[in-house]
Structure 1
């Protein structure tokens, strides 16, 4: 018979296994027997990891054989992994990540373990913290550890601004957003927000204003840039003049006229200036005066308007003198007559004209004179008569005459024979003699006669002329 030792279990001491010593099997026989190993490894050998069966047999001289076996089990060592310390790096320039290499260690495990990672070493890690798990595995078991890889964004954004011009609206307001000023700001990890220190503008901001754009990236880093914002106003003021005015003159100078101030508005402010015409409350001359006003805002935008003030004159109302009756001037068959019509109503003062001028010489008779008053507002006429009467008698002049009777004892005279140059201011119309025929009864002197004169406008008898008759 043969007896083997009990099964043996050992821990490996290296990846080759472990040196294992065991008691040699014992053989007994009624005669004798010698144990002989037929399988396995000798005591003191290095047993590989795993189970090795050692088999022994004993054979006596008669050839009888007995066998026994036992196992030597060499167990591996489970791994015990060690992770690196937590890793902190900055993102690569211009990148929002970093390539990170690392290595966990494991020296305990038998057989040697294989280490794997949840994220392979040399991978690209985004900004932030990533937990990496390392796993060591061998035939015996598995062990894990973890560490963090923190990639920080240490790069500030690039802030880029552009200058702008904004126009105020009808309410005098303008606005900008940060995006209006931004002209391509960038960041390696991306822009989280844009902010402008001033977004609303009004009339008080006309001109150049400096604004600041703050660029914040997704990781809280900021950069700023400045821009010049020119606030402009292209909206002209509104301006309304009063309606046209028409009044009647109160004097030759015209009339005092008051009018409403033009109404003006602007999205900011404006000033009003009169550029033509006369101020309200002034004396406006006859005719039409154009009043022009101009409203100007602080940006130089202007609007103008005009209205007229028309001062109308008063048409004349002429008054003629009463009809005039005069006698002829002494020794004249006419008279120089003066007169004057009056006109005090017309504005402006009228000019009076006559179809026959005052002071003209009027012949005997009746003449109608027409007076006309004229000003810029109109014309008026009136008429009156001038009557010139001949109140002057003719001057009768006679001469004495001697006439001869003819063969029949007859003689005759005419008024012209007796007239010695009679005259009249208006002319002699006729002369007559009260005796024009003479005969023998009239021979001698002292024959009385009368010469009658009939002027143009009167009749005179001159008595007591004498004629001497000669037989």
Structure 2
């Protein structure tokens, strides 16, 4: 008695998920949809059992069915490989310095601390890249990491903005007149010639504001300019004191 009737090979399509290492595997039984033979099945075999990032999407796998008398049949199944594992988002805190215009900017890579994914990183994005005077101090910035299969993760970094650029101190010379009591006074604004800072001026101060008969002639006065973030600069002006009040 001879059995030359091949088995009935029946395949079924399946979907499999890559793990965090970007790997997945299947067994022949996974795509067998009920293959059978009157004299019994001896074994099942497949031509591809290991899958990785490069296999994401549909893959054709051949199932070979062997019966107990050595007859074979085959069928094909579609094994769809899916990567739904999000990337690992890793942030790092940074400190940045405003320039003389009171501006600073960052790129996503600046706060990336080594984000990774088994199937590779497609791109990085941040929700804030431009900073100005109003951002001095700590700022929370979100980094979004997208892998090559569209999965996303995010993390947050603290971007500390520092203003260490001193203001521009500009002085102007002035001449003042003693009054009938032999006295005169000035305010810081009197010798300020347009001092400025990108982040604004907090205050002006001078080292001498009161003058009398002993000061007639040129006097050197120092103007100290403080910006809104505590940086200081100074310049010097000549305050010429004049007494043109006739005696009584």
- The TM-score bracket by the shorter chain reads 0.7 to 0.9
2:146 is the counterpart of 1:219: no
**Worse-superposed segment, 152-161 or 247-256:** 247-256
Deviations 1:19-60 (A, max 9, x none): xxxxxxxxxxxxxxxxxxxxxxxxxxxxxxxxxxxxxxxxxx
- Give the deviation of 1:298 after TM superposition: 2.0
Aligned length: 234
| Alignment check: 8 A CA contact 1:116 1:134 kept | yes
Helix, strand or coil for the counterpart of 1:82?
A: coil
2:181 is the counterpart of 1:181: no
- Give the deviation of 1:173 after TM superposition: 0.9
Q: Quick one: distance in 1 between partners of 2:156 and 2:186?
A: 58
2:104 is the counterpart of 1:167: no
Which of 261, 266, 275 is residue 192 of structure 2 equivalent to? 261
| Alignment check: 8 A CA contact 2:91 2:143 kept | yes
Mapping for residues 98-177 of structure 1, pairs under 5 Å: 98-103=24-29, 104=32, 105=35, 107=37, 119-120=47-48, 122-125=49-52, 126-134=55-63, 145-177=75-107
Q: Quick one: distance in 1 between partners of 2:108 and 2:165?
A: 25
Aligned to 1:81: 9
2:209 is the counterpart of 1:272: no
Superposed CA RMSD: 3.7
Q: Quick one: distance in 2 between partners of 1:257 and 1:210?
A: 46
| Alignment check: 8 A CA contact 1:237 1:297 kept | yes
Q: Quick one: distance in 2 between partners of 1:257 and 1:189?
A: 71
Helix, strand or coil for the counterpart of 2:134?
A: helix
Helix, strand or coil for the counterpart of 1:303?
A: strand
- Give the deviation of 1:219 after TM superposition: 2.2
- Give the deviation of 1:97 after TM superposition: 2.4
Q: Which has the higher strand share?
A: 1
| Alignment check: 8 A CA contact 1:96 1:189 kept | yes
Helix, strand or coil for the counterpart of 2:28?
A: coil
Deviations 1:151-181 (A, max 9, x none): 2223222111111101011111111111110
Helix, strand or coil for the counterpart of 1:264?
A: coil
| Alignment check: 8 A CA contact 1:187 1:217 kept | yes
Aligned to 2:23: 97
| Alignment check: 8 A CA contact 2:203 2:227 kept | no
Deviations 1:435-468 (A, max 9, x none): xxxxxxxxxxxxxxxxxxxxxxxxxxxxxxxxxx
Deviations 1:228-284 (A, max 9, x none): 111001111111101x346787868277989563211112111331222338xx888
Q: Quick one: distance in 2 between partners of 1:298 and 1:250?
A: 36
Deviations 1:58-112 (A, max 9, x none): xxxxxxxxxxxxxxxxxx55665322x11222213x3212122225546389xx9
Aligned to 1:320: none
Q: Quick one: distance in 2 between partners of 1:224 and 1:202?
A: 24
Distance 1:257 1:116, change over 3 A: closer
Residue ranges of structure 2 left out of the alignment (5+ in a row): none
Helix, strand or coil for the counterpart of 2:169?
A: strand
Q: Quick one: distance in 2 between partners of 1:114 and 1:157?
A: 39
- Give the deviation of 1:288 after TM superposition: 3.1
Distance 1:305 1:162, change over 3 A: same
Residue ranges of structure 1 left out of the alignment (5+ in a row): 1-12, 16-75, 315-346, 350-471
| Alignment check: 8 A CA contact 1:254 1:311 kept | no
Q: Quick one: distance in 2 between partners of 1:131 and 1:108?
A: 28
Q: Quick one: distance in 2 between partners of 1:300 and 1:183?
A: 32
Q: Quick one: distance in 2 between partners of 1:216 and 1:232?
A: 30
Q: Quick one: distance in 2 between partners of 1:80 and 1:248?
A: 117
Helix, strand or coil for the counterpart of 1:98?
A: strand
